[in-house]
Amino acid sequence: MGWRKKVSAGLFKRRISNMGILFHQETKTFHLYNKEVSYIIRIMENGQLENLYYGKAIRDREDFTHLHEEMSRPLTSVCIPEPGVLNMQCTKQEYPVYGTGDYRSPAFTVKQESGSKVVNFTYVSHEMYHGKKAITPLPAVYTNSDEEACTLELHLHDQMMHTDLVLTYTIFEEYPVITRHAAVCHKGEEPITLEKVMSMSVEFQDMDFEMVQLSGAWARERYVKERKLEMGIQAIQGINGTGCGAEHNPFLALKRPEATEQQGEVYGFSLVYSGNFLAQTEVSTFDMTRVMLGIHPEGFSWKLEKGETFQTPEAVLVYSDKGLNKMSQVYHRLYRRNLMRGNWKEQPRPILLNNWEATYFDFTEEKILDIAAKAKEAGVELFVLDDGWFGTRNDDYRGLGDWVVNLEKLPDGIAGLSRKVEALGLKFGLWVELEMVNKDSDLYRAHPDWIIGVPGRFESHGRHQHVLDFSRKEVVDYIYEMISKVIRESRISYIKWDMNRYMTEPYSRGAAADEQGKVMHRYILGVYDLYTRLTQEFPEILFESCASGGARFDPAMLFFAPQTWTSDDTDASERAKIQYGTSYVYPLVSMGSHVSAVPNHQMFRSTPLSTRANMAYFGTFGYELDLNLLSEEELKQVKEQVAFMKKYRKLIQVDG
C-alpha cells in the first residue's frame, strides 16, 4: 500500500509486458496499458492535458496524435497563439477547469482572493512507480504486492495561484481497471477556496451510449435504470450528507446500444466514497461525451491556506468488451481482493440469526436465549442482538446515543449475555447506531450542541432522531470511548452498524462561518475515523454496515465493513430485483441477505420457505425470525438450508 519505486521520465514498463506505463518524450504522450485496456494522455501545446484514448487495448506507437481532432469552429475560442487553432470546447480534456475557453461543465472550480475563478493548470513533471499509495484518511483500492500495478502521477501547476494539481492513475495487471484521484496542493500566500474538485473526468468522441444507473428508494434500492444519452447533461447525485442513500448509488456505466450481458463495450465508473456525490455525463452539441465523478459541489466549499492539501476520493474505472457481466465480474474481484480488508476478507461468512423481526424492542434476556438456543439447534453459528439493548431504548423515540446496557432487560449486561450465548455454542453479535442521537437521551441533555443543525431554526428529525456532528473530533472521541468499553467487556464477534436517517440543516456549531462548506465532507471523514479505530482495536470482529437497509451501500464502506445489509425489504421476490441491481458492482459476499417470516413485514407477501432461502443463498445468508414459531416440517427445512449453505458458501462467497 505504501510509496513504491519511482521513475521520473522516459520508458516505464513492468518486467512482464502485460502491463506498463510508457512515456513518449517527443510526442509528450503517456500510454497506460495492460492486455485488455489502453488509456492515452497527451500534453498539449498549451501545457494542458488531452484525453486521447480510453478503451480496448491497442498496440503502442511513438505517435498517437492522429487521435487528436483539431479544427476551427464558429464561436470557439483559440487558446494558443496563431497560427494554431487549438480550442478547449472541441478537445477531449483530461481534467477540464474553468475559464479556458471550454463552455462545458468543468471538473474544477476555485475562487481566488481577487474574486477570479479562472485557472490554468499546466504540466510540470511526472512520476511513475510500481504499486500504489494509500490516500489516507480516505479509503481506496490497494495492492497486495508492488507487482500488481503501476502508478502515474502527473504534476501540474497554476502560476498565478501558485497551486499544484496532482492527477494520479493506477493500472492493474490482472484487471481492465484504472483508478483515479486528484489532489490540490496550495503554495500561494493568499488563500483559495475550492468550489468543485471532481475525482475524474474522461471524454469520448461520440454520444452513441446508453447510461446505466442504480436507483430506487427505501425497500427498492439499486434498481437498474437505463437511458439513451442525448445532448445536454444527464446526472445522478446524492446530497443527503450522510451517504449515497437509497435513491442513487455512486456508480454509472456507459454501454454501447448493442451491448448485452455477455458482449459489447461497457465503461463502468464507481466512486469509493460515502458522502455527497455527483455522477454526470454531458453531451456537447458536437456529440462529444464527458463523464465526471466526484464529491458534489452543492454545499461544498473548502478553503486552502498556504501549505494545505485537499485530496479527492478515488474513482474506479472498469472497461469491458464482453458486456455488463464482464464489468461486474471485474468489480467483484477487485473489491473483494483489493478493497475489503482484515480477517474476513477471504473468509466465508457465518450463518446468523437476527432477532429484530422476531422481537423488535420487546425482549428479555430469557426470550433472547430461547431464540438463540433454537437457532443453535438448527445449525446457526451466530446470534445477533438488534436494537433495544441500551439506555431507555424501548421504542425509537428515546435512548440513542446512550451506549450503556439496559439492565432491566439484560440484568447481566451485554458482557453476561454474550457469554451465555457463547455457552450455547454460538458466536454473539450486536447492533449499534453510533452516528445518531435522540433528544430524549442523556447524551443530548449533556451536549445539545453536538447535533447537526442551525441554532434558532427548526431541527428536522427522521425516525425521531438527529445526526451527531461527526465533523467534530470530540464527538467521535466520545462515541468511540463509550462503545469500545462495551466491546472490551463482552464477547462480540460481529457488529451491525446502522444509520437510519439523512442529514438536514447541515451546519456545525463547532465550525466557523467560513468552514461550514467543509462540514459534510468532514462528517464522512469522522465516520471513517471511528471505523478505523474500531477495526484496528478489534480486528477479529466482522462489521456489517447498514443504513435503513441499503442506503449506504458504497465501495468505501466495504473498506471497513466487508458486508452491507442490502435492504430492509426481506421479501424474496423484491430481493431478486434489489440483489440483481446490487450485483452490477458489488460481490455476493458483500450482500447481507436473510430468510424472514411470512407474511413478509414489508410487503405482506407470503412466499414458500424454500423460495426465501433460494434468494438468501446469494449473499451472506441468515435468518430474521423466531425459529421457535416454525412447525417441525419448517424447522427441518431450515436445518437442510443451513447444511446446504455450509457446504456451498465458500463457492458462492469466496471462490465465485
Closest CA to 279 of 225, 219, 325, 217: 225
For residue 163, the cross-strand partners are 158, 186
Q: Pick the catalytic residue: 321, 386, 498, 554?
A: 498
Longest CA span, the chain: 87
C-alpha span between 328 and 197 (Å, rounded): 27
Place of cell 475562487: 111
C-alpha span between 518 and 358 (Å, rounded): 42
Q: Pick the catalytic residue: 386, 568, 571, 626?
A: 568
C-alpha span between 621 and 563 (Å, rounded): 11
Closest CA to 295 of 55, 544, 563, 525: 525
Is 498 annotated as catalytic? Answer: yes
Burial 278-312 (b: 16+ CB within 10 A, else e): bbbbbbbeeebbbbbbbbbbebbbbbbeeeeebbb
Cell of 162: 501558485
Cell of 239: 446530497
Is 568 annotated as catalytic? Answer: yes
Q: Coil, helix or strand for 150? A: strand
Q: How large is the C-alpha radius of gyration of the chain? A: 26
* Amino acid at residue number 140: A
Residues 6+ apart with CB under 8 A from 235: 278, 279, 280, 281
Dihedral class, residue 140 (left if φ above 0, else alpha if ψ from -120 to 50, else beta): beta
> How many contiguous H segments (helices) and E segments (strands) does the chain have?
11, 33
Please answer whether residues 102 and 48 qualify as being in contact, where contact means their C-beta atoms are separated by less than 8 angstroms.
no
Cell of 423: 455457552
C-alpha span between 157 and 163 (Å, rounded): 6
Give a three-class secondary structure readout of 421-449.
HHHCCCEEEEEECCCEECCECHHHHHCHH
DSSP 627: G
Residues 6+ apart with CB under 8 A from 629: 597
Please answer whether residues 30 and 54 qualify as being in contact, where contact means their C-beta atoms are separated by less than 8 angstroms.
no
Catalytic residues: 498, 568
